[in-house]
Structure 1
Amino acid sequence: MFLKGLEINNFRNFEHAQASFSDGLNIILGKNAQGKTNLLEAITICALGKSYKNAKNDDMVMFQRNDFFIRCSVHNSSVDKVIEVYYKKGDKKYIRVNGTSVQKISDLFGNLNVVVFIPDDLKLLKQGPSDRRRFVDMDLVQIKPDYYHNMLQYFRVLKQRNNILKNQKQYDMVKIWDEQLAWYGSRIVKERMAFVDKLSKAIKRVHPDFMPEVGKVQINYLSTVKKTGDLERNYREKLRESIHNDIKFKTTTCGPHRDDIVFLIDGVDARYFASQGQQRSLILSLKLAEMEIFRESIGEYPILLLDDVLSELDSERQRSLLSSLSNYQAIITGTHIQDDLFICGKRYLVDSGQIKEF
């Protein structure tokens, strides 16, 4: 899979811009606040239906404009596809794939797969559990067709259960929702556990050559529900055991919405004992491991989007990173790159909402 071209209109600071991409390395250069990150954001909207920044639709419309339009041309499994996203203020977002309207966002997933790095990802280890869950979920909705549906249903049921805990005294009605919560929740946990296990194995293969200063890495999924045996049954039992706490705190205290992922380096929690350099190396290795999981799961690599990663690395680590990307299509933003580090692919300059190849 690779992104052939991008066209945007009235998006962020771009009135109109378009670019064609190499199926290898693409470097987007420019000073800060010129729009480099906006290009990556536009690509993720075509992949996921929304901004990876969780930005509001109105905020992405260019100043003093009423709508935006994004078109991505993709080569996917020997098939060319065109994904178009149109949004007008006060209306919903319209998405089409090869001219056919997408009625459910889950039907968009898989047409353009992406793995994204942003500078905030360097804080992933120290951020809250919700950020680590979101990182796993963003990959799984692209890889597993049913995962997004299970997530939607789980949170619908969870909302109903929590409403009873908050607003009513008829707590016996909570049990009405427990069966559905256990059914959807156990499937989410099962997929996350399998993904994290694959991630733990993949990162062990990736990081020794890429970032040798990181020791032995292990990634574990921490579940509020017993992980061995029948997950659905375990979930139902945990809900029964937790009912008194749920009533006390007026919320559901167990389930995938409470789970976490822990990263270990040489057997110790990287949140507390890894140096800043080790944490940076671990996160970048994590992105390459994600790429390998996509290939193992769907038979091809996604597109790797790296925002401002070069500024975080010295020249030796820049060289190591760029040399490790030979198997992928990578689109990387930055303020500069040494000429001797750029071997092949394309370079672009972004300046005041304009992009051109050079």
Structure 2
Amino acid sequence: MKILDINVINFRNIKEKKFEFADTVTYVYGENGSGKTNLLEAIYYLSCGKSFRNVKDSDIRMRETEYFHVDGTVSSDDTKHKIAMGMKSGEKKIILDGKNIKKVSELFGVFIPVVFSPEDTSVINGSPMIRRRFIDRMIASIDNDYIIYLKKYNYALEQRNKLFREAIDNDENLLYAYEKILTENGIIIAERRRETVDKLNEIITDIYFRITGAKDRIFVNYKSEFTDGDRDDLLLRYRNKRGNDKLLKRTSFGVHTDDIQIVINGENSRYFASTGEKKSLVVALRIAESDIYNKIKNEYPVMLLDDIFSELDEKRRRNLLKFFIDKAQVIITSPERYDIGTGVAYINMEQIDG
């Protein structure tokens, strides 16, 4: 999978510019504020109509402009696709190969980038919701149906919570209907998460060693109440928690309470890993994600590495690149230009007329 080019208009501080990318490594450099991360954000936006920074579309549009637009050429299995999307007057428009599409979900699988940014350490330091989102995005990239299960689950969750929040006289049949949806889809979600975590554990320690040279034992621990009990048992647990959930005004049981712990040498990395270890762990997780995708799809996603070289010494930089040379297309950003080998295309963002 590759991105050949992207045209960016009124996207944050990029006024209008077309960028072309090498098949292997493209190195984007320039001072902070020059637009390096904005370029990666535009590439990611092209894949799913969302920013990896979790911001609104209105925050993406350049100030004092009426619209923003991105379009690009991507390839997968030697098949080229043209994707275009943007927003004007609050209306988003998406075009795939010249045809308007109504749902962003129709883009899933056409172009898959994997992003590492400095904020990514929130996967370790942040809330369980961030870690659930991390694993869910990984699964969704290789299983389009997974989004359907999540949507069904989240709809039923919100409706059940609404009954409790609004102190509506609980309709037993309605509660049972929502709990049935939560159970049936929750079982599938928990199973997919568990399978993905098992795949991560098969390779994560070796990847971490190859990046750092450290012989640490890495383990991803999936914690879920849905790992025990069959369908009827889980339905009964929802029923038994109705009284408590009514007091809390929310659903206290389900896969929306899951957590994924990243463990290093038997200790939770959130509390015991150094800053450097945490960054290396996240890099290892992203590499593992790309490897899992490749094993299932027989191609690597495009790797977007935002300012990670400043966190790694020269040996670790070269070790990281060894994972992808002749495998995946890599687009790297950095404040400084480093010589990272031959066959690398360089883009100086300070020479871009913003």
> What is the CA deviation profile of residues 146-199 of structure 1, one whole-angstrom value per residue up to 9, with x for unaligned ones?
111221121111111001111124233422311111112222121111111111
**Quick one: distance in 1 between partners of 2:152 and 2:7?**
34
Q: 5 Å matches for 1:1-358? A: 1-91=1-91, 93-171=92-170, 172=172, 173-213=174-214, 215-225=216-226, 227-228=227-228, 230=230, 232-326=231-325, 327-339=327-339, 341-351=340-350, 353-354=352-353
Please give the alpha-carbon distance, in whole angstroms, between the structure 2 residues aligned to 1:122 and 1:168: 39
1:271 corresponds to which letter in structure 2? R
| Runs ≥4 residues deviating over 6 A | none
Residues 30 and 242 (structure 1 numbering): CA distance in 2 closer, same or farther, change over 3 Å? Answer: same
The Cα shift of 1:320 comes to: 2.2
In structure 1, stretches of 5+ residues that fail to align are none
Amino acid across the alignment from 2:224? S
What amino acid sits opposite 2:131 in the alignment?
Answer: R
For 2:215 and 2:53, the matched residues in 1 are separated by 28
C-alpha distance in 1 between matches for 2:321 and 2:353: 25
- SS of 2:348's equivalent in the other structure is strand
The one-character-per-residue Cα deviations of 1:203-248 (angstroms, maximum 9, x if unpaired) are 13322222222511111211132x1463x44432331232232122
Which whole-Å CA distance do the structure 1 matches of 2:158 and 2:29 have between them?
44
1:19 alignment partner, SS class: strand
Q: Which moved more, 1:36-45 or 1:204-213?
A: 204-213
Task: Check 1:214–1:56 CA distance in 2 against 1; reply closer, same or farther (3 A cut).
Answer: farther
- Residue identity in the other structure for 2:291: E
Query: Deviation at 1:137?
Result: 1.5
2:124 counterpart SS class? coil
The offset of 1:314, in angstroms, is 2.2
Q: Per-residue CA shift, 1:252-287, capped at 9, x if unaligned?
A: 011121111011112221122222222221111111
**Superposed CA offset, 1:20-66 (max 9, x none):** 11111111000100111111111111112211112211121112111
% same residue: 33
Counterpart amino acid of residue 2 in structure 2: F
SS state at 2:276 partner: helix
Please state whether the residue corresponding to 1:22 is helix, strand or coil. coil
Following the alignment from structure 2 to structure 1, what is the Cα–Cα distance between the partners of residues 276 and 349?
Answer: 29
Where structure 2 has 5 or more consecutive residues not aligned to the other structure, the ranges are: none
Question: Aligned to 1:54, what secondary structure does the other structure show?
Answer: coil
Q: Deviations over 1:301-351 (max 9, x none)?
A: 100011111111222322222233212111111011332x33322111002
Measure, in 2, the Cα distance between the counterparts of 1:27 and 1:103. Answer: 34
CA distance in 2 between counterparts of 1:100 and 1:214 reads 51
* TM value normalised by structure 2: 0.94
**TM-score, reference length from structure 1:** 0.93
Q: Could you tell me whether the CA contact under 8 Å between 1:8 and 1:17 is conserved in 2? A: yes
Distance 1:324 1:133 in 2: 26
Offset, 1:297:
1.9
Once the two structures are superposed, residues 43-90 of structure 1 have per-residue CA deviations (whole angstroms, 9 ceiling, x without a partner) of: 111112211112211121112111111112111112001111121132
